[in-house]
Amino acid sequence: METYLADRLDIADLMTGWIHRDNGEWDQLRALFHPEATIEITWFKGKATDFVNGSMKMGTSDFKAKHLIALPIVTFHGTKAITETNAIIVGLNTTLGLGCEGHCRFYDHIEKRDGVWKILERHAIYDMASFTFPHGIVELDESAIQKYPIEYAPLAYLLQQSGFPVTSIYPTKGSDLEKTIKAEGQTWLKA
């Protein structure tokens, strides 16, 4: 039975490579993905290359983010794997005096090509989120917050107020959408 120990270490490095996004290291962030990779997170749905370009724009805005990434759970099938990785998203808009903390899981299809693991498809599944107020309570638009599922409403609201609209519905813990994404992932893994 193959243990995949070296692969597990490489994949852990791949997942924690998300720090390149927070640090504005755009070439290193691009290197985490296969050329045709896709990504779906609160403010973006599409090709990973376009996501990096959008992240560059976000990096010059009033919205700042920090991601704390845990070690992934990995399921292998040859040169393919599914990973599920806990992440904490800390967001802040200093101009608004408003922040948030969101807990999610990255659910990734990854593939080893030419000896290197990279992300082929990334989904964020949202577990819970809350607002933070670095300088005291600020007024919030409750009707705007209620447009989003509670599991990521504070993050979506902060993104929206920062100029990054959230226009789709994303999977939340235990939702039918999460179940569908995971079922499709298992089908992909075993194909």
Could you report the per-residue pLDDT of 95-149, keeping only the tens digit for each? 999 999 999 999 999 999 999 999 999 999 999 999 999 999 999 999 999 999 9
**Residue 128's closest CA among 163, 89, 82?**
89
End-to-end CA gap in the chain? 20
pTM (2 decimals)?
0.95
Summarised one tens digit per residue, pLDDT across range 161-186 is 999 999 999 999 999 999 999 999 99
Cα 150–Cα 151–Cα 154 angle in degrees, nearest 5: 70
Query: Is 127 in contact with 103 (CB distance < 8 Å)?
Result: yes
Summarised one tens digit per residue, pLDDT across range 9-53 is 999 999 999 999 999 999 999 999 999 999 999 999 999 999 999
CA pair distance 72, 61, nearest whole angstrom: 30
